[in-house]
Amino acid sequence: MDILLIKKAINRIFPPGSEIADNSLDVPPKERFWLIPGKNGPRWLIPQEKKYGLLVFQQWSPYDLASIVKWKILYAVYSAGQFGMLPGVRALGISGSSKNEWQHIGWKKETKPVPIIYFGTPCKTRKLVTLLIDSKTSKPNMVAKFPLSKPASEIIKHEFRILCDLQQKKINLTPRPLFFDNEAGIASQEAISGRPTGRRYTILHHKFLESLRLSNNTISLDEKSLQLKKELISIPILRPSLKLLLNGLLNNCTDSTQFLPVYVHGDFTPWNIKKIEDGSLMALDWEMGDPNGLPVYDFFYFFLIQSYLFNDKFNSNRIFKLLPENKKKYPLVQILNFTAASLGLRLAKEEQNIEYLEKFLRSIK
């Protein structure tokens, strides 16, 4: 277990003076947590008090079969109060964590918050994501993000700007931005209650994307492709075979037709989309947001990222048929190539498995 990362999380997130207790039983029940490991170190820090910790299982849900089975086992064991019996799970006492001194992350309520911490996957943009629960109502109230690197700080700042811009435009499809500390790189936003959507693209997804058509400017595919090529050139450490593959995709993006850009989410995935109480969708994690994006980019991304992560065959003919007629006027094959190149470049910068990434990109036709 990465004790240095855990201490960093406590120092950045919890009230000043909070520290790990020698024995979790030495602190009050409200200051006791379960530390759940992942493949690459700590993954979750959740309260031992079940009325708060159960929100982890209600708000998040995995998608592949093996993870779903493990998640259900964790839920059952946690509900039965036997979490400490699981291999790798560690009891952690954090003295001082129950103090109501959370102003440094934007908490302004009189009631004390209870934190649930998610440790992001190790990469150059790794961050800590904390769900703050109102101890009085037991409901999620706020999400705070903490960077663990300079690139992470930049994308957290970018997301906050995107959320502010969408709120100003009265596009109520996102969490409300609440707090930002430029020096620390910490940003907080409204917590959205709801369930992650399934992997199937539905009419609700289509309505959501249609609601993001905002701009009166124009953009062309070849202009966006040139921007991505310049970014590709600025990253000299990329494997030559991957760089050649990405350039090949972008060389097919030559359409110069000017059309209205759309507000692109940039990471439009089932786990970043929640179905809320009124039945509509809201999207989280706007760190890759682009106010001058290509039409149908998010649509193609939705299928591409799932094909990559779940090793599904990408069937462009089937996917094209899901598009309404008014979207078929665009150069679809070229935008698909651009989306694949954009996703491939992002995954490469996150140091994903390059051999697998190259195989995936070659399969896009």
Per-residue confidence (pLDDT) for residue 274, from 0 to 100: 92
pLDDT digits (tens, 9 = 90+) for 179-197: 999 999 999 999 998 888 8
- The stretch 188-217 carries a mean pLDDT of 88
Higher model confidence: residue 365 or residue 50? 50
Residue 334 pLDDT exceeds 80: yes
What's the pTM?
0.92
| Secondary structure (H, E, C), 210-230 | HCCCCCCCCECHHHHHHHHHH
Q: Which two tokens stand for residue 250?
A: 């972008």
Report the pLDDT value the prediction gives residue 21, as an integer from 0 to 100. 93
Residue 210, number of CB atoms within 10 A of its CB: 12
% of the chain beyond a pLDDT of 90:
65
Residue 278, classed as helix, strand or coil, is coil
Arithmetic mean of pLDDT, 5-10: 92
**Structural domains present in the chain:** 3-191 (no CATH), 196-362 (3.90.1200)
Q: Is the dihedral of CA 19, 20, 23, 24 positive or negative?
A: positive
Per-residue pLDDT tens for 55-89?
Answer: 777 767 777 777 778 888 888 888 888 888 888 89
Across residues 129-143, what is the average pLDDT?
A: 93
Average pLDDT in the 220-234 region?
93
Residue 177 vs residues 161, 164, 303: alpha-carbon distances, Å: 9, 6, 28
Amino acid symbol at 339: T
Helix (H, G, I), strand (E, B) or coil at 291: strand
- Mean pLDDT for the chain overall: 90
- pLDDT exceeds cutoff 90 at 27: yes
Q: What is the mean pLDDT of residues 205-230?
A: 90
Average pLDDT over residues 171-186: 93
- In the chain, the DSSP E strands lie at 19-20, 32-38, 41-47, 90-95, 113-119, 127-134, 140-147, 177-181, 186-190, 195-196, 262-264, 273-275, 281-283, 290-293
| Dihedral, 136, 137, 141, 147 alpha carbons, nearest 10 | 50
CA distance 7 to 113: 19
For 285-328, the pLDDT digits (tens) are: 999 999 999 999 999 999 999 999 998 888 888 999 999 888 88
Within a 10 A sphere around the Cβ of 23, how many other Cβ atoms? 8
User: Over 70: is that where the pLDDT of 365 sits?
Assistant: no
State both tokens at 58: 């209600």
Exposed, middle or buried by CB within 10 Å (0-12, 13-18, 19+), for 225? buried
